[in-house]
Structure 1
């Protein structure tokens, strides 16, 4: 499904290349990922979309879903370049990700995400898990002690 109904942007059902993925995360102020990790991880995505600025052909946003395609779906790597924010791209990306989940997830599937923006994901029915559970993470470190 390609969505061309708003502004000069197209949402495409595809994943960005690894370099664009890394650049979008950096531009959006997200934690960097190693190129090795990106190259290994992207092909394992269940579904992904990119936002393309039509006049330039530049990929300016992305989002994807990772998981087992049955019991767990995680919305991941939502990013829009700051100079293209406030155009509704995040919402359009989420609409596509949500449509994928609605069309493919069996009853009882768990859909989660780690939010770094207050108030955005709640519009899509997401809510904090506390006190029922809490989100946790651990980052793998490189041999030199730096995060990778």
Structure 2
């Protein structure tokens, strides 16, 4: 059973930490504008498995910190969570959804319809590519 719901930003931190930056302390995964974002959680069999945060400037939305626990990766749950985000943004009349994708997972975003831009950067030990989806 899969359930996706909006959550308080503080509930995203443990999964962000465990999945994305376990070598750092918990404060490392906190975003300065977390309180301004919209945060979704995916529950699988009543257990919090994945999270994502979205922020907007007008009709342009950015999602950040998509994370699914290692034990549940490969089950299509990240895809379900992203489909929910895309639908949410469409309902909000967003014109574009974008992200800073880790280069090693860009194929995941291609399968969701995102396109790679020419903008790349290196941060916190990872190569990133800015990817966009026109809505």
Shared fold, TM over 0.5:
yes
Q: Is the counterpart of residue 113 in structure 1 residue 99 in structure 2?
A: yes
Quote the RMSD (CA, aligned, Å): 2.7
Give the number of the structure whose residues are more often strand, by fraction: 2
- Runs of 5+ consecutive residues of structure 1 not aligned to the other structure: 1-7, 140-148
Q: Map residues 21-100 of structure 1 onto 2, 5 A cutoff.
A: 21-30=12-21, 34=27, 37-38=30-31, 41-45=33-37, 47-54=38-45, 57-68=46-57, 70-100=58-88
- Runs of 5+ consecutive residues of structure 2 not aligned to the other structure: 125-135
Partner of 1:10: 3
Which whole-Å CA distance do the structure 1 matches of 2:29 and 2:75 have between them? 32
TM-score normalised by length of structure 1: 0.67
Give the number of the structure whose residues are more often helix, by fraction: 2
Structure with higher Rg: it is: 1
TM-score normalised by length of structure 2: 0.72
Aligned length: 120
Q: CA deviation at 1:29?
A: 2.8
